[in-house]
Amino acid sequence: MTDTRGRYEIGDTGFQLLSDGSLRSGGPGEEASSLDLLVASLVSCALNAFRQDFVEEGQPDRRVEIFARVERRLEGDYLGTLIMECFIDAVDGRGADDLVREYKKRCRIYNALKDSLPVVFVLHTPDSVPW
């Protein structure tokens, strides 16, 4: 708890962060919300997988950028759909599809949330984008 109503300090010995309840729930809505933290967890797993999976020993990690957004209707209490726009260097379209399949197979957070927060991957690779 903090001195600000609806703002929470979350941490452990190695990190600390602030999280706010939404304006709808009476929080200040300025710091990361619980949905922001869920999305950040899914993106963090994807960054790790896309940068390192299937990379040969001794080869550098791939360059990866992910822009994520949640799309939802204002009415209703569902989480919405997470759109992850992924820019992955050094793989072709088929390789990117393989990375997504591996992510979906191994990411425990994705598998726990996939029915409540569907994820749509929009993949951009060097062969799909005129760099």
34-124: CATH superfamily: K homology (KH) domain (3.30.300.20)
Q: Residues with Cβ < 8 Å from 86, sequence gap 6 or more?
A: 46, 50, 64, 65, 66, 96, 121, 122, 123, 124
Structure letter (DSSP) for residue 3: S
Domain boundaries, the chain: 1-32, 34-124
- 88-123 tens-digit pLDDT: 998 888 899 999 999 999 999 999 999 999 999 999
- The DSSP H or E segment spanning 47 is helix 34-52
d(CA 103, CA 47): 10
- 44-53 tens-digit pLDDT: 999 999 999 9
Residue 76: per-residue pLDDT: 74
CA angle 124, 118, 111 (to 5 degrees): 100
